Amino acid sequence: MCGIWALFGSDECLSVQCLSAMKIAHRGPDAFRFENVNGFTNCCFGFHRLAVVDQLYGMQPIRVKKFPYLWLCYNGEIYNFKQLQKQFGFDFQTLVDGEVILHLYNRGGIEQTASMLDGVFAFILLDTANRKVFLARDTYGVRPLFKVLTDDGFLGVCSEAKGLINLKHSTSLCSKVEPFLPGHYEVLDLKPSGKVASVELVKFHSCKDEPLHVACDTVEALPSAGFDLETVKSNIRILFENAVRKRLMAHRRIGCLLSGGLDSSLVAAVLLKLMKEINVNYPLQTFAIGMENSPDLLAARKVAAHIGSEHHEVILNTEEGIQAIEEVIFSLETYDITTIRASIGMYLVSKYIRKKTDSVVIFSGEGSDELTQGYIYFHKAPSPEEAAEESERLLKELYLFDVLRADRTTAAHGLELRVPFLDHRFTSYYLSLPAELRIPKNGIEKYLLRLSFEDSNLLPKEILWRPKEAFSDGIASVKKSWFSILQDYIDQQVDDLLLEKAAEKYPFNPPKTKESYYYRQIFEKHYSGRSSWLPHYWMPRWVKATDPSARTLKHYKSATQE
């Protein structure tokens, strides 16, 4: 996890512009480099490093003797770099996984490069010999990327939007700062003036398609094809374990977020099993957050005891949670209601990890709800086919919601996130299964995933079959939910009259509740006029919902309400 930043065709002094690069310093607390491009005095790269792989030669932009005309700035991890090196006979100059991007590009161009990378990535590749700039981002946008391109060819690229919004330019920068689309690469011509012109934007991978890099995966072919239940369950276990195994690549200590729900518990259990197999010489640290005796804390404690992790509990103080709201919105760059609610706990637990431990590479369960139909409203899906379509829609929009939350809350504290449920191979296989197999069954969401691990003894049965908690109830005390505490506080902060006139003040995505209005005010304070970054609020489908929380749905009944 790092922070990348680059400018092409800047009219302003680069020493002034580079102040914007410091807005993402939190993403790379270990080192910083600012480098001009030879022959293009108005083009430069900025890089904030979190050293996870090759501590000696990992600074960027990466340049190697074999390709002196190539410059690479990337944020991510390429899990199959050794397999690609072996398959194509690449001669590496460093131990950096990202070096493989230069060799792949030299061998087969940008299309093959993006398609063959098994990992999470956002990169800027400059080819001065052919006067081209390439941008690319992984399938689910696990690693963030934003860009701004003016009509006269000034290009700014950054891991987070906050590194672009204050750039200086001779013409107005009302050209939109916008997220770069996941699963795409863009080709731009580099003119002698340093300005650029976009040539094409290409989608190189869809979540349903089996990725091209399967040919050089550690699990080359599944032992059996077909959709009989035993075969499917076995394949799910094999591919999920493989997804966790490949993500063990790190020279820094590995930890795991553990809410006590199915997803994070499965990740933690498989992770610890594999760490033992390869004789990692330290215990796995797991981290849970919640109010005193909250359901999540109790469940996480049970899982940690079962798997034998070194468990840490962070007690959520309501005052601390409320005070963190503005910092969280600034980090997230969104005003989405459920994203902000769920981010507060994750932001505070990440803060604890950074201050109190030496774990840096953090595993988490993001992506499972979207992939395996874990949201409670999936019980209301009109048909298996519509549930399957909704699952794909959610996966395509992850970069706006859960993946955004997971990246920004951890990156704000210099941690690197790893999300095995969003492994390309695992997700494409799961989405290839018949729609009927993937829907909730017997009133239980993620039924197929749970069933696949039922005989593994990885988790206690009551955790494996634990119903989904709304996040606000999962971290709540038995006395009062975090949801209720937030509502009570915000009710005092927003006047009824303000809410009545919300649509006049904020015509795009107008706030409908005091909570939504409160978040929007804070967002506009830091990112005025940028409301289009969120195309729509996250809301459940097939139900008449006015709030995104699962706790407002009829199917949902929290332990605190029983």
Instruction: Report the binding-site residues for ATP.
Output: 257, 289, 364-365
Q: CA-to-CA distance for 30 and 26, rounded, in angstroms?
A: 10
What contacts 230, CB < 8 A, 6 or more positions away? none
Alpha helices in 247-336 (DSSP H): 262-277, 295-307, 318-323, 325-332
Task: List, in sequence order, every beta strand (DSSP E) within 307-391.
Answer: 310-315, 359-363
**Which two three-digit tokens encode residue 38?**
């030879």
Q: Which of 412, 228, 218 is nearest to 329 (CA)?
A: 412
The DSSP H or E segment spanning 200 is strand 196-203
**How many whole angstroms from its chain centre is CA 231?**
30
- Residue 25 DSSP class: G
- Residue 208 DSSP class: T
Q: CA-to-CA distance for 183 and 204, rounded, in angstroms?
A: 6
Q: Taking a C-beta distance cutoff of 8 angstroms, is the pair 77, 138 a contact?
A: no
Binding residues: 97, 257, 289, 364-365
Q: CA-to-CA distance for 430 and 370, rounded, in angstroms?
A: 11
Q: CA-to-CA distance for 558 and 562, rounded, in angstroms?
A: 7
> Long-range contacts: 497-501, Cβ < 8 Å, 24+?
none
Residue type, 203: K
Q: 195 phi and psi, to 5 degrees?
A: -75, 165
Instruction: Clarify whether 2 is annotated catalytic.
Output: yes
β-partners of residue 64 are 67
What contacts 336, CB < 8 A, 6 or more positions away? 400, 401, 534, 537, 538
Q: Which residues are catalytic?
A: 2
